[in-house]
Amino acid sequence: MALAYANRSAVFLDLKRYDECLDNIQLARDSNYPADKLEKLKEREEKCKNLKEKDSKLEKDPEDDPLNFFKL
């Protein structure tokens, strides 16, 4: 389960859904994520936090949200 959370966090990072990414990183840790892979998870967390901070400073265009593609 921990690996699934970690993989889902990577998808959320690609979709720029930073809060969901960080939530899934924490879920992975809470689910006994393998110790030998924790460094990669920590790097993803730092990248996510940096991108979240950077994006919060930029103006957002609602058309840039990839999820708008799925709205009818």
Using pLDDT thresholds of 50, 70 and 90, give the confidence band for residue 55.
confident
Given a cut of 60, is residue 72 above it in pLDDT? no
User: Which of 61, 59, 63, 65 is closest to 18 using CA atoms?
Assistant: 65
State pTM to two decimals. Answer: 0.77
pLDDT of residue 57: 76
Instruction: Write the burial class of residue 14 (CB in 10 Å: 0-12 exposed, 13-18 middle, 19+ buried).
Output: exposed
Going by pLDDT thresholds of 50, 70 and 90, the confidence category of residue 1 is very high
